[in-house]
Amino acid sequence: MDYVKVRSSTVGAVGYDDFANVLGVQFLNGSEYHYFAVPKVLFEGLTAASSVGTYLNAFIKDAVTSSSESDKGAVRKSL
């Protein structure tokens, strides 16, 4: 997955896997999360948002399943 840097006080970069519909988010604190079954339109909205953190919280964090790198693949949140 390729990542692009974003302007945010909490998020450093985001990426999207078109084949798997997975959104990757690298936070400035060093943590990384992967969000599963994310429509590409949400990734596009995230990269275009005036506030990446607000968009992430409003449309992605609680709406899709995710895992963090520290979870080593375990599901962190479910639908």
Domain-embedded: residue 79: no
pLDDT of 73 over the 80 cut: no
Structural domain count, the chain = 1
> Which two structure tokens, joined as six digits, stand for 74?
């375990």
pLDDT of 69 over the 70 cut: no
Domain-embedded: residue 9: yes
Domain-embedded: residue 33: yes
User: Which residue range is the domain that position 61 belongs to?
Assistant: 3-68
Of 45, 49, 51, residue with least CA distance to 23? 45
Domain-embedded: residue 74: no
Task: Report the pLDDT averaged over residues 10-27.
Answer: 97
Question: Would you place residue 7 in the very low, low, confident or very high pLDDT band (cuts 50, 70, 90)?
Answer: very high
Domain-embedded: residue 77: no
Domain-embedded: residue 11: yes
- H, E, C per residue of 20-74: CCEEEEEECCCCEEEECCCCHHHHHHHHHCCCHHHHHHHHHCCCCCEEEHHHCCC
Task: Report the pLDDT averaged over residues 24-43.
Answer: 95
